[in-house]
Structure 1
């Protein structure tokens, strides 16, 4: 892997926490993601299933984790299955984990080959009453491809129809929402690589460059700092493109006088970062651009102070909406009287700020968790207000990643330039 080895105490600790939530006499099974086909004999880059990675640290295809804390044979309480290699695999694909390497990565003593899984499960499953199965449960998920976990659910229910089946996802959502010290350091590393990418861009952006040129500069900086690349599809949106929230074509020219909205983040060790900055293509904001930018910045600074233990997303978003209303009135985009008489179910600010302000961040850029759960120490949220004025061709979003602590929010991107004067100064030719 490109990233530095992760201390296996992280994965040992994660498994210990997970099994505390299992019902007595339970087995839990987690499968790796598939290597997805593209066209002909091509495949897409492999990305590990986050739950499997969270519990084992194994970043390889055709891997399976079996947890059975009540197994009578102590060797079978934690079993990791990895792909058996061969000379042919070594020649064509490269090195795969040995059993010893898998033990070192995961902290699991019993490591077997993947092809042994069915036989081993069959020797254990009748000792158990419950089987916990993994699935991709996420409000934003659109699942059209059957995963290894999904295929296993059907296979398992067919072969063991009289067992009681449970969902692992609610437990994983509960655990993954709160980050450990090691996880926070990995996210900080991802944020640092993102900072390097942004600082590189400030000296690169100028009238005439293409959006994809800007994206290429990011890839270069990410890859040379041990990242596999972006944690999600980068948005490099110049001019009116910035008013398209999920614009990823990145194929237009950056023109003099326009703004450039960039929403990107490096991935490191499967952990995401998530940054948005909006800069003037020519290095100098117009008075109107600066005014709107300062409004968004004030909302960000106010909103991030609300990312404290005990708050909830609903309370938080209502508060941010009120702050945004005041800024939009100041900018002349809303009238105070109209706001006073608006339908609370259809707030007027949504015309110019139509998305949420924050989401959980971790192994997924939109990380798993319960939106009704009060904020807790060591949760990590984005903070990303924006104002989009389509009729003026202005779209400005600013975003940092915030760690919730008892002593107040900690901005993990506090070193990344954000103030107007700093942006303009750093964009001047050196």
Structure 2
């Protein structure tokens, strides 16, 4: 791994939080992700399942975590199962976790080779009444492949039909959404790497540069700072491309006078950052671009203040909509009749700002969190309002990542990334 080893105390705490919410006489199993094939002998780069990483720190394929807090024997309460390594694997694939190294990473003393898993699980099932299975229930999830986790669930249900089934996901949704201090430090590192990439491109962008060249500058800076790369597919959208919310082709030329919307974030140690900035190709905003930019920035600043303990996500977005409506009236994009006659299910402001303002962020860019429950301290949210005007050939979105505090305004993890017009223009022209 490129990142520095994470203190195993984080994973010990995470497991303790999870096990504290398990039912008596229950077992929970977590599988690593598959390595997905492309064609012939080609594969996608491995990306670890965030849940097993969150609970163990193990960051390799073919790994299983078993938690059984009420097991009759202490050595059965936390167990790791890993692909057995050997000299041949070391030569062809590189170093894999040994049992000793797995203890150092995870804090789990009882590490077995994967070939023993079925035998050990069978014994566990004779002691347990309930099995926690790990299904993906994120509100944005669209899963079209059968995952390693799904294959395990299917096999387990066939073999142990008399056991009660429980879900890991509701527990994980709650505990993963409230970050430990170590996690906040890791997200801060991801944000700091993103800042380095953004400052790099401010001196690089000029008329006629290609969007993919800007993307290349980001990945260069991210990789040289111990990141595996982008936390999500980057959006480098110049001109009218910014009005396509998930534009990822990044293959157009950036023309003088246009704006570039940059929705880019580095990962670090599997933790995400999520930044959006909008900058002028020529290094100077026009008066109209400035007016729209400052309207978006005003909404962002006021929306950020609302992210406090007790806030409800749905009501928050209603209030942000009111802020945006006011700004759009000031810009002349809406008039009073538009607002008076609006459909409550799709308010007038949605013509120019059609997406949400904030989402949970952490190990996943759109991280776990139960949206029907009040916000809590140490949750991390994005704040990302935007105004999109296809008729004028540009769109503007601005986004930072913030930590909810016990009292006062959220702490901005991207506080050092330039966002004010004067600073951006000064850096682009220095």
**TM-score (normalised: structure 1):** 0.99
115-124 vs 52-61, which moves further:
115-124
Pairwise CA distance, 1:361: 0.2
Q: Which residue of 1 aligns with 2:178?
A: 178
Q: Distance in 1 between matches of 2:263 and 2:274?
A: 7
Structure 2: distance between partners of 1:64 and 1:345: 45
Structure 2 unaligned residues grouped into runs of 5+: none
Q: Distance in 1 between matches of 2:238 and 2:57?
A: 39
Map Cα deviations across residues 122-169 of structure 1 (whole Å, 9 max, x no partner). Answer: 111111000001111111111111111100000000111111011100
Q: Distance in 2 between matches of 1:120 and 1:334?
A: 65
Deviation at 1:340, TM superposition (A): 2.6
Instruction: Say which SS state the counterpart of residue 38 (structure 1) adopts.
Output: strand
Residue by residue, what CA displacement relative to the aligned partner does 1:298-333 show, whole Å, maximum 9, x if unpaired? 000000000111111111101100000000001100
- Cα shift at 1:203: 0.2
Residue 35 of structure 1: how far off its partner (Å):
0.7
Superposition deviation, residue 373 in structure 1: 1.1
Which residue number corresponds to residue 319 of structure 1?
Answer: 319
Give the whole-Å Cα distance in 2 for the aligned partners of 1:289 and 1:418. Answer: 14
Question: Which residue matches 1:94?
Answer: 94
Aligned to 1:144: 144
Residue in 2 aligned with 1:61?
Answer: 61
Is 1:413 matched with 2:414? yes
The aligned residue for residue 202 of structure 1 is 202
CA distance in 2, matches of 1:7, 1:199: 30
The more displaced of 300-309 and 339-348 is 339-348
Tell me if 1:422 matches 2:423: yes
* Structure 1 residues without counterparts, runs of 5 or longer: none
SS in 2 for 1:28: strand
Root mean square deviation of aligned Cα: 0.7
Which residues in structure 2 correspond to 1:365-380 (within 5 Å)? 365-380=365-380
- Secondary structure of the 2:119 match is helix
Match of 1:26 in 2: 26
Aligned mates of 1:30, 1:338 — CA distance in 2:
51
Secondary structure of the residue that 2:39 maps to in structure 1? coil
Residue 391 of structure 1 corresponds to 391
Distance in 1 separating the partners of 2:126 and 2:165: 13
Q: Distance in 2 between matches of 1:299 and 1:181?
A: 29
For residues 329-368 of structure 1, what are the structure 2 equivalents within 5 Å? 329-368=329-368
Q: What's the offset of the Cα at 1:407?
A: 2.4
Aligned to 1:193: 193
Shift of 1:226: 0.4
Matches within 5 A, 1:134-283: 134-283=134-283
Query: 1:69-117 deviations in whole A, cap 9, x for unaligned?
Result: 1111110110011110122211110100110000010000100111111
Secondary structure, counterpart of 1:95 in structure 2: coil
- Correspondence for 1:111: 111
Report how many aligned residue pairs link the two structures: 429
1:300-315, aligned counterparts within 5 Å? 300-315=300-315
